[in-house]
Structure 1
Amino acid sequence: MAERRLILMAGMLALGCAAFLLWNLRAPMGFILSLRATKLAALLIVGAATGAATVLFQTVAGNRLITPGIVGFDALFVFLQTMLVLALGGAGYAALPVLPAFLIETACLAGAGMALFGLLLRRGAGDLVRLVLSGLILGVMLRGLSGFAQRLLEPSEFAVVQQASFASFGAVDHVQLFIAAPLLGLALLVAWRLSPRLDLALLGRDKAITLGLDFDRLVLGVLGLIAMMVAVSTALVGPVTFLGLLAAALAQALLRRLDHAALLPAAAGLGALILVTGQFLFERILGFQSTLAVIVEFLGGLVFLALVLRRTAR
């Protein structure tokens, strides 16, 4: 049954991709197809990486209500954009070369994530509660610093920061994709290969260690994968905090099983499907340009509240 649902989801994703590329296609077809293919690739890899990263984070944390964005990646991204505009000005920020800016942002996000994981998990992977709480506090602190710095900006510079702080799939460069796609594809493959160990990790630290799993090493390695996946995705298009939570919750409801060999592809596929179909509807059918990220965050927030209320009711 789960395999059939995965095949059905893959078929829906293929149809969504075809519609996104070919709907209302006009001359010059080659140029338009090139632009659409670049945006489609960004939608696919960001959706897949975000969905899979959320499943991984929920597994190692032992909690189905959290997402990697809760650790503060989105707040750090906004802080970086604000500091760049404050230091360089609006014109200087706009003149930054695309590739170096992408690499710097990715390195900063991944480095900060690994530093946070390394500092807080030195005593072992059992201290994940401290990691989550510290991430929340870090996010609040960075948002406060960003808000203070934004008050020092000119109105035109503030508008630049606001535009850069929201996820945008229309400004992705193909050079960025040539770097991001292999990195995220490799991370997804490694995560899927770890599926049997992740299934053991679901039993809890003590039981997993009893069964021969090096739990602490697995958790640190998975957190490294999560840091890279979230860093690359965020640097590529911007923060989409609740997309992963939405994809992971739908994958669990669709499959009704927790084995990662099926759950990871399902969450990755649903994350990509949400972005592709959502962008197609808003851009091709409704004629909107920048509302998808807001709608995804809204729906993800509703899913989060529903999960919390259901857990509380129990």
Structure 2
Amino acid sequence: MGLILSLRGTKLAALVVVGAAIGAATALFQTVAQNRLLTPGIVGFDALFVFIQTGLVLTLGGAGFAGLPPLAKFGAEAAILVLAAMGLFGLVLRRDAEDVLRMVLTGVILGVFLRGLSGLAARLLEPSEYAVVQQASVATFGAVDATQLAIASAVLLPTLVAAHLMAARLDVASLGRTTARAVGLEHDRVVRLTLALVALLVAVSTALVGPITFLGLLAASLAHAVCGTYRHAILVPAAALIGAAILVGGQFVFERLLGFQSTLAVIVEFAGGLLFLVLVLRRPAR
């Protein structure tokens, strides 16, 4: 009984931590990108994670991949994701933070490129090894390691606190670069710091459970609708709480109503995909 309660406690904590991280990261990313249709996954986080899994299986084989030390694998994946994100942000925004759109488009192109490489590598795998890649590339909360969760929490919680402390500057940054600079805000520095926080939040949560592309869009959109404010001191915590609530509620649906016949990621991605279509179709043409 104690083991069961411990496993359920670890799963619940993972749902809350990951949901809060992705929700907050998306709210921050949308502020920087000046677009409520975007999520951090669009710049290639998810594609890079899948590419890492595919490359490891191709190099080590299914048995070698399964034999990797979980903690070392988690740390390496998180570090690669953070370094890749900061490399992209630093390369594209090396002069100033005005052309965020160019950064997003570069990330989209890199994501397509990595997905192509992953698809090519997958064709070289045996069917059993391809199944391993498929399983490793889907977000799962059923086997979260308590040590990894503790490390992720130790990284994610201070990052959320830092985002909250930047709330007033983010309010000004959301007005646009020209206006923000006119009132004395160091806009470029705020953008870079915000993107660093986004990279940490998304990289660690993705390394912990895997990619969930549309969760952030759901959480951030609901936070905007519920709060009805631009103030990041309210908006970012709301997105974090809603993200956690979505995952916990989705897990309840997954376990109690669907009888484990699907995965939580499929439920979230389906709902998020529908919301994305609604937002795109409702967006006025320019």
TM-score range, shorter chain: over 0.9
Aligned mates of 2:8, 2:257 — CA distance in 1: 15
- State, as a whole percentage, how many aligned pairs show the same letter: 67
Are positions 1:276 and 2:259 aligned together?
no
Q: Which has the larger displacement, 298-307 or 97-106? A: 298-307
Aligned mates of 1:107, 1:78 — CA distance in 2: 15
The TM-score with structure 1 as length reference comes to: 0.89
Which residue is equivalent to 2:266? Answer: 294
Question: Where does the alignment leave 5 or more consecutive residues of structure 1 unmatched?
Answer: 1-27
Which residue is equivalent to 1:228? Answer: 200
Q: How far has the Cα of 1:284 moved from its partner?
A: 3.3
Aligned mates of 2:285, 2:278 — CA distance in 1: 10
CA RMSD, 1 decimal: 1.0
Q: How far has the Cα of 1:77 moved from its partner?
A: 0.2
Which residue is equivalent to 1:215? Answer: 187
Are positions 1:44 and 2:16 aligned together?
yes
Are positions 1:114 and 2:86 aligned together?
yes
Q: How far has the Cα of 1:289 moved from its partner?
A: 5.8
Which residue is equivalent to 1:11? Answer: none
SS of 1:240's partner is: coil
Q: How far has the Cα of 1:310 moved from its partner?
A: 1.1
- Letter in structure 2 aligned against 1:152: L
Aligned mates of 1:181, 1:285 — CA distance in 2: 30
Q: Is the 8 A contact 1:168 1:290 kept in 2?
A: no
User: Paired residue for 2:119, among 124, 139, 147?
Assistant: 147
- Letter in structure 1 aligned against 2:195: L
Which residue is equivalent to 1:172? Answer: 144
Are positions 1:191 and 2:163 aligned together?
yes
Aligned mates of 1:37, 1:225 — CA distance in 2: 27
Aligned mates of 1:195, 1:177 — CA distance in 2: 26
- Structure 1 segments (4+ residues) deviating >6 Å: none
SS of 1:212's partner is: coil
Q: How far has the Cα of 1:304 moved from its partner?
A: 1.2
Question: Where does the alignment leave 5 or more consecutive residues of structure 2 unmatched?
Answer: none
Q: How far has the Cα of 1:290 moved from its partner?
A: 4.4
Q: How far has the Cα of 1:313 moved from its partner?
A: 5.3
Q: How far has the Cα of 1:171 moved from its partner?
A: 1.7
Q: How far has the Cα of 1:283 moved from its partner?
A: 1.2
User: Paired residue for 2:231, among 232, 235, 259?
Assistant: 259
The TM-score with structure 2 as length reference comes to: 0.98
Aligned mates of 1:240, 1:281 — CA distance in 2: 17
Are positions 1:205 and 2:177 aligned together?
yes
Aligned mates of 2:65, 2:87 — CA distance in 1: 27
Q: How far has the Cα of 1:306 moved from its partner?
A: 1.1
Are positions 1:311 and 2:280 aligned together?
no
Aligned mates of 1:171, 1:114 — CA distance in 2: 29
Q: Is the 8 A contact 1:81 1:161 kept in 2?
A: yes
Which residue is equivalent to 2:33? Answer: 61
